């Protein structure tokens, strides 16, 4: 199975699931699918699942390109919950979100999908 992105109608959130290594090509493919298939008004709440992700294989130039792609898909007030990341993936994810410089975007690393959904929906403390 490869990485995928879809709109979860039941939860009313965007779900991204990364499998294996995240390369610049794989991230770009997911990003293109997001832009092509999910309207901006439905992209505010995002759950990013990295539980099946093994590594992020990108260099500095590619990290900047990915950060630019993230910024291009950003919708004001976006909340992104991330589950299943290793310490290295957490650090790289923080770098990407810091590079965006979005003032009102919120990102949280969660231990479980339930915790992530509660935070996204505003039920978390």
Tens of pLDDT along the chain (125 residues)?
488 999 999 999 999 998 888 887 887 888 888 888 888 888 889 999 998 887 777 777 777 777 777 677 666 778 889 998 777 777 777 766 666 555 556 888 999 999 999 999 986 55
Count CA atoms closer than 13 A to 63's CA, side-chain side.
15
Tokens 């792609």, located at residue: 69
For the structural domain made of 4-121, what CATH number should be given? Answer: 3.30.750.24
pLDDT of residue 104: 58
Instruction: Indicate the SS3 state at residue 63.
Output: helix
Distances (CA, A) of 17 to 70, 75, 76, 102, 103: 15, 20, 22, 23, 25
């Amino acid at each position: 199975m490869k990485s995928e992105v879809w709109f979860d109608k039941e939860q009313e959130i965007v779900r991204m699931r990364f499998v294996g290594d995240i390369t610049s090509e794989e991230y770009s493919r997911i990003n293109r699918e997001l832009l092509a298939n999910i309207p901006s008004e439905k992209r505010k709440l995002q759950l990013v699942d990295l539980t099946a992700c093994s590594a992020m294989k990108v260099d500095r130039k590619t990290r900047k390109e990915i950060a630019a792609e993230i910024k291009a898909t950003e919708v004001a007030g976006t909340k992104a919950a991330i589950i299943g990341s290793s310490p290295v993936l957490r650090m790289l994810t923080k770098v990407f979100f810091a590079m965006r410089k979005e003032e009102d975007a919120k990102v949280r690393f969660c231990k479980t999908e339930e915790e992530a959904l509660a935070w996204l929906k505003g039920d978390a403390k």
